[in-house]
Structure 1
Amino acid sequence: MLMLYNSDNFAVVQIDVDADDPTRDAPGDGLSLAVPGGLLEPALRRGGYEIVDKLAGKQLFLEGAMAQEFKLSVEALVETSPSTDEIDAWLGRYSPLAQQPVILH
């Protein structure tokens, strides 16, 4: 797990799957995923991004093609050197998708 972003409103964590994990999809298992611009990066086949909306107390996990699109969008956003408010506004687009309540354990 890697904390990518943390503000008063949102937190974003990247979750990777260990390449040695026996439950990970094996190469050549017939699960090649096509996304705009090419094939899905192998690291994102099982990993993804968790977005926590702290104000709403909800979270969302993006994986697969949505995680790939999120990654590309974040890279484009970072190139503009956004402020914290701009990043929070951008992440706010994902808030309606967050349905899972945040549970501390």
Structure 2
Amino acid sequence: MWHIAKRARVFLGLDPVDMRKSYDGLAAWVVAQLDRQPTSGDLFVFTNRRRNMVKVFYYDRNGFCVWGKRFIKHRFTWPKTESAVRELRRNELVWLLDGLDIRQAHEKLDYDTVY
């Protein structure tokens, strides 16, 4: 479905975005609000104010791509922080698009010893 480089990172825009924005508008938003390069190959994920729509924006080898999803009856659970952007792991993006609350997922656990 998507051709995404394995090294691509996923960034979640935490402020609502006007869903009428398309390629140029989202590229400008990435630069102005997230302080990132839209041609990096990274994925940028946005939602609207009502949290029932999501757009995934990224650059794929020779052009911009926009992928969208809209819930009919439900809302996406969006994390809240002080910054404008949050980096996600790929599995968190899948959970988010499935409608799950990624705040309930724990951070990666590393152990020095196992009992």
| TM-score of the superposed pair, with normalisation by structure 2 | 0.25
Whose helix fraction is larger, Structure 1's or Structure 2's? 1
| TM-score of the superposed pair, with normalisation by structure 1 | 0.26
